[in-house]
A and B are shown apart, each in its own frame.
Chain A
Amino acid sequence: MTNYKHLFDDNFGRYTNISKEAYDYLLRVFQVRELKQREFLTEAGSVERYFYFVISGVQAMYVISNKGEKVVLGFSYDGSPSGVYDSFIHETPSNYFMEALTPSKLIAINKQHYNELFERFPEFKDWRINFMETILFGRAKREVEMVTLTAKERFDAFTARCPQQLLTIPQKYIASYLNMTPETFSRMRAKM
């Protein structure tokens, strides 16, 4: 028996009753993918072919700046969706890398099956609307935090809401996400 059925319940199941037929479909079209630490889920410059849910592990999404620096934009972790969604939807090359920061296990659905899912089971669209809202409001909130909060306040806001699991990844990734140097980040962490 698969050990990832809870991902369907925790995501789609919050917005609709998943019928037996829909479960069968989900179990058929989602495939398990495993990644070693530092392996890429998605490479910048190539098209994202899948939408994911994370069974276990932490992944970071980042962009390479013109100066060549990694700028972290977000993370995915146990139970969360993952992948580069804009590239997946538009089938255009991704601007971002998605990298496994820890050994990771995910389930993946391809574009054709993803489209088919909403055609065959229109009740799943409620999940999709909510997913888009969560992304949009989350990005807006982060943008406000970035321009209005001090480094210390950004650190506190992040540690208050992030899953424990994220505090185990290399500090420089979280520091970059919070737009501070690794030194500042580690100083604040020491004072926690």
Chain B
Amino acid sequence: MEVNFEKLLQSSNEQKHFIEKEVATLPSEVINWKESKSVWSVLEVVSHLNQVYELYTPNFIKALDSAPQSGNEAQKKQSTILGKLSVYSMKPKSGKRKYKMTTFKFFEPSISAAAPNETVERFIINKDQFNGFIKQARTCDLTGIKMPTALGKRVKFFIPEIFEFLLTHEERHLVQIQEILDKHRS
């Protein structure tokens, strides 16, 4: 199997488009609405995604800088057992989250309700940067290069696995955003 960078990039662009179209345009009372104190608002979900991107960004920069340029279009897909498992368990099944997962303490959203625009703008910046990493990786030889994850210092995945992991993680949260919006409407 080969890494499909184009497919990763397309999914990532579609997610960005969803935030731009469906979230950036929401009025402040909707974007901050919560069903109860213990669940997240749409804005808190976006803020959580920002925190995840911002934690991974320096790791991407470091890992990609160490990768040599390559003219070879086909890159063999390498995977770790835990990486595969993490992507599989995250993945929404037919557009639904089968069960809830809790995040780490350091990924709990922190936002000032006064700055919804800033949170969404930050997301777009993070997303563009992430897409830049996919494009950079596409022309590098990534063989054997692993990168630390937020699952613990010693848990390392291959770079394309992390792309997939983060996109699947985000897909899950976009389903969550849709669920919050549906509840708000009803």
**Chain A interface residues toward B at CB < 8 A:** 38, 40, 43-47, 64, 68, 70, 93, 97, 170
Bound-state CA distance A15–B131 (Å) is: 41
With A38-B138, A38-B139 known as contacts, the answer to whether A43 contacts B13 (CB < 8 A) is yes
A97 contacts B139, C-beta separation under 8 Å: no
Nearest to A172 among chain B residues (CB) is: B73
| Minimum CB–CB distance for B93 against chain A, Å | 17
Q: Mark B1-21, 1 if CB is under 8 A from A, else 0.
A: 000101101111110110000
Q: Which residues of A contact B96 (CB under 8 A)?
A: none
| Minimum CB–CB distance for A102 against chain B, Å | 13
Q: Which residues of B contact A47 (CB under 8 A)?
A: 17
A93 contacts B6, C-beta separation under 8 Å: no
| Minimum CB–CB distance for B142 against chain A, Å | 15
With A38-B138, A93-B14 known as contacts, the answer to whether A44 contacts B4 (CB < 8 A) is no
With A38-B138, A40-B135 known as contacts, the answer to whether A64 contacts B13 (CB < 8 A) is no
Q: Which residues of B contact A70 (CB under 8 A)?
A: 6
With A38-B139, A45-B11 known as contacts, the answer to whether A97 contacts B17 (CB < 8 A) is no
Nearest to A38 among chain B residues (CB) is: B139
With A45-B11, A46-B17 known as contacts, the answer to whether A97 contacts B138 (CB < 8 A) is no
Query: How many A-B contacts if CB must be within 8 Å?
Result: 37
| Minimum CB–CB distance for B8 against chain A, Å | 10
Q: Which residues of B contact A93 (CB under 8 A)?
A: 13-14, 17
Nearest to A44 among chain B residues (CB) is: B10
A45 contacts B138, C-beta separation under 8 Å: no
Q: Which residues of A contact B14 (CB under 8 A)?
A: 45, 93
Instruction: Other than A93-B13, A93-B17, give 19 A-B pairs with Cβ distance below 8 A.
Output: A38-B73, A40-B135, A43-B10, A43-B13, A43-B131, A44-B6, A44-B9, A44-B10, A45-B10, A45-B11, A45-B13, A45-B17, A46-B13, A46-B16, A47-B17, A64-B7, A68-B4, A68-B7, A93-B14
| Minimum CB–CB distance for B70 against chain A, Å | 10
Bound-state CA distance A43–B6 (Å) is: 8
| Minimum CB–CB distance for A87 against chain B, Å | 11
